[in-house]
Amino acid sequence: MKEDANKVASSLLRAAAACEGLRPSNLLEITAFAVGTKSALRFVLSSEDADVVSHAAHEAQIRHSRRSIGLQRSQNGWAQIVPSATSERAQLLVLSSQLDPEEILTAETSNAAQAGLFLGYPECCVRALPQIDARGPQWPFVFISATGPSEIVDARLNRFAAEWGGIGLLGELFPCSLSCENAKHYADQLHASAVALGLVRLADTAVEHALMPVSIANDGTVAHGDKGGGRLVTFRW
């Protein structure tokens, strides 16, 4: 089983390294999929990057499927799937070890809550997504408005790291709050999956990135350290 997990991880991580548009925050989720902690992965990629990951999935005999979607992007990594033919085009790619990937693709475009559950996200976080979605690119304020100005946040809940290009420990999960125990457990599982595969350097880098402070500007833009001005958020392990 471990040999199979190593093969899956190696294949998908090599593909990820060859993709210009695949975010580093996806890397721990890939390791969790490889060891079986996550049963499905979802990527939003260019056609070229989707070709690379699809080829790797085929070579590793992983069930996968993709669809062309319209995408509306804004700052802070916020993007929405939209029907407009004039929107940016992208590929929605799903890999699955259990469900039919087409079922997950359908949920991604019609039932966000169900899609989140298919992807293994905590139910409380999935149910809170509409509140976060309503703020759009100002989603960081959903979280920091509930914390004190001097409060130090658990690094496992640092979803902001993904937006400055860090790995972090949450993957692409938006927690329901900066105190969610289920999201902490999810982060622990992702970290443990990298360690189980012997990818200690990746796991350590994810922790390092999660511990780095971020600043949230008035428009919600996330910056590394105190470079962006605005509200500084610090983390602990």
For residues 82 and 145, the answer to whether their CB atoms sit within 8 Å is no
pLDDT for the residue numbered 94:
98
Residue with the two structure tokens 């590929």: 91
Please name the amino acid found at residue 185.
H
Select from 31, 29, 25 the least CA-distant residue to 10: 31
Summarize pLDDT for 21-35 with one digit per residue, the tens: 999 999 999 999 999
pLDDT for the residue numbered 109:
86
pLDDT for the residue numbered 229:
73
Q: Phi/psi of residue 91, each to 5°?
A: -110, 130
pLDDT for the residue numbered 215:
92
Round the CA-based radius of gyration of the chain to a whole number and report it: 17
pLDDT for the residue numbered 85:
62
**Global pTM value:** 0.92
β-pairing verdict for 231-236 and 152-154: parallel
pLDDT for the residue numbered 49:
98
**Range of 46's domain?**
2-236
Q: Say how many CA atoms lie within 13 Å of 121 toward its Cβ.
A: 23
For residues 45 and 172, the answer to whether their CB atoms sit within 8 Å is no
For residues 109 and 100, the answer to whether their CB atoms sit within 8 Å is no
Bridge partner residues of 73 (DSSP): 79
Largest CA-CA distance found in the chain, in angstroms, rounded: 49
Select from 156, 166, 165 the least CA-distant residue to 188: 156
Q: State how far the Cα of 49 lies from the Cα of 46, in Å rounded to an integer.
A: 5
pLDDT for the residue numbered 225:
85
Q: From first to last of its 237 residues, what are the pLDDT tens digits of the chain?
A: 566 999 999 999 999 999 999 999 999 999 999 999 999 999 999 999 999 999 999 999 999 999 999 887 766 666 777 776 666 889 999 999 999 999 999 999 889 899 999 999 999 999 999 998 888 889 999 998 877 777 899 999 999 999 999 999 999 999 999 999 999 999 999 999 999 999 999 999 999 999 999 999 888 889 988 776 788 999 998
Q: Phi/psi of residue 118, each to 5°?
A: -60, -35
Summarize pLDDT for 114-165 with one digit per residue, the tens: 999 999 999 999 999 999 888 888 999 999 887 777 789 999 999 999 999 9
- Number of domains the chain contains: 1
pLDDT for the residue numbered 88:
82
Q: Phi/psi of residue 96, each to 5°?
A: -145, 140
